[in-house]
Amino acid sequence: MIDLEITEPTKERAARVEVVDRALRALEELGESPAGVGVTELGRRLSVDKSTAHRLLMTMAARGFVRLNAHTQRYQLGLRLVGLGAVAAHGVEITEIGRPVIEALRDDTGEASSLAVLSEGEVLFVAKATSAGALTVNHGVGTRLPAHASALGKVLLAGTMGHDAEQVDRVIAQRGLAPATPRTITDSEDLRRHLAHVATRGWALDDEEYAVGLRCMAAPVRDAAGDVVAATGISGPTTRVTLERVDALSKRVRQAGRDLSALLGYRQAAQAG
């Protein structure tokens, strides 16, 4: 007996996959244009004719994925995506999706890397990638550090300044600004000025502020809304993490922050900086 397998023609399968890809690209284009996109403009962006773009938009509008703004006659993302996004966000475990990112950061720099969040005014390590170097500092998961004396903490504090101006004051009142080394920032006004600088340049440096002989760098991790929800960075002895290497290492740390932010849905994360 001969079994006959009836398969869909290759060209037809490819065409169906192309339609799905085009629809997803359309959603991405709308996501990057909050004011909306017209049919002709979307067709140009997708390299398709106006009628194809119109059919695509009408199909997605019927399912609630896009909507037509009656005032501007431009298409925008629909509310159906809000519900799906909430479900996706609920299932995201930042330590799970962040592990490959910090492992790559460790491999590229040769230094211990980590992922941390702000918890009760302190830095809480939630993931780590241990360095194999002879001289290294590896903070275990669950370790807590003072926010004002660490690169990770300064990134996390700076990230709160845009939407919660009183957060830094609360952390200072709750935890104080005790010196860990002679280099630790212990004046509240100095700390605020320093955090403003961190927020502007997009990364932080701990230059022997937490421990003598230890230098660390960190960058923010943002969620889909653009809020800083975590920080990632590296730490190593000053004999390896020299001042001459800070610029190059900080660029790699910032890239790790952008990579993880992109995985969390932050649309601007792919931009260089």
Q: Which CATH architecture has domain 10-88?
A: Orthogonal Bundle (1.10)
Can you tell me whether residue 224 is helix, strand or coil? coil
Q: What is the pTM of this model?
A: 0.67
| Residues of the chain under the 70 pLDDT cut | 1-16, 82-92, 132-139, 162-163, 165, 268-273
Q: What is the pLDDT of residue 184?
A: 94
**Of the candidates 11, 21, 76, 78, the residue with the CA atom closest to the CA atom of residue 48:** 21
Biggest CA–CA distance in the chain, Å, is 86
Would you state the torsion angle of the CA atoms of residues 130, 133, 136, 140, taken in this order, to the nearest 10 degrees? 10
Task: Please tell me the predicted confidence (pLDDT) of residue 135.
Answer: 57
Sort strands 204-207 and 74-77 into parallel, antiparallel or unpaired. unpaired
pLDDT for res 152: 96
| Per-residue pLDDT at 202 | 94
Q: What kind of fold does domain 92-270 have according to CATH?
A: Beta-Lactamase (3.30.450)
CA 84 vs CA 59, 65, 78, 95: distances in Å: 18, 10, 11, 21
pLDDT given at position 1: 39
> Does residue 75 contact residue 69 with C-beta atoms inside 8 Å?
yes
* End-to-end Cα spacing for the chain: 64
Whether 10-88 shares its CATH topology with 92-270 is answered no
The per-residue pLDDT for range 104-114, each reduced to its tens digit, is: 999 999 999 99
pLDDT of residue 103: 94
Alpha-carbon distance of 132 to 202, in angstroms, equals 28
pLDDT value, residue 4: 41
94-109 and 246-263 helices, crossing angle to 10° = 160
Classify burial at 163, counting beta carbons within 10 Å of its beta carbon; exposed 0-12, middle 13-18, buried 19 or more.
exposed
Can you tell me the distance from the alpha carbon of 9 to that of 270, in angstroms, rounded to the nearest whole number?
37
Q: Is the dihedral of CA 241, 244, 250, 251 positive or negative?
A: negative
Q: Where are the domains of the chain?
A: 10-88, 92-270
Residue 66 host element (H or E): strand 66-69
Looking from the CA of 59 toward its CB, the CA atoms found within 13 Å total: 13
User: What is the rounded CA–CA span in Å between residue 138 and residue 23?
Assistant: 45
Q: Is 166 left (phi over 0), alpha (psi -120 to 50) or beta?
A: alpha
What is the torsional sign of CA 44, 50, 52, 56?
positive
